[in-house]
Amino acid sequence: MKISTQTPNNTITRDVVEMASKVGNVYEMVVILSKRANQVSAAEKKELDKILADYSSPMDNSFDEVFNNKEQAEISLQFEKMPKPTLIATQEFLEDELNYTTSSKDDLLKDE
């Protein structure tokens, strides 16, 4: 997964109204960001599970278990230090790297 070098590790106060001007509605912006954050989170979990699966062993060897636990802990710490999915989604949104469609008022009225 590619993470922008511009993505902060800490939360930054942002002008929500200015951000929402890209889609015209604060609520749609929140939906877009939350859906993308869920995608990022799922991809990170899948990647972490894949890496940690390499350390699981069917044999009971206490020395290997201690060594593997240390390796697993280091890998988990690396993932914890990565920017949170919401921050990644927000940065992608600000850099216009997200593809999304929004509903217009006309579309909503046609459904009624």
What are the tens digits of pLDDT across the range 8-52?
777 788 899 999 999 988 999 999 999 999 999 999 999 988 888
Among 10, 24, 41, smallest CA distance to 102 is for 24
Exposure string for 28-59, b = 16+ CB within 10 A, e = fewer: bbeebbeebbeebeeebeeeeeeeeeeeeeee
Distance CA 63, CA 91 (A): 43
| pTM of this structure | 0.73
**pLDDT by residue (tens digit) across 67-101?**
567 888 888 888 888 899 999 999 999 999 998 88
Distance CA 85, CA 56 (A): 26
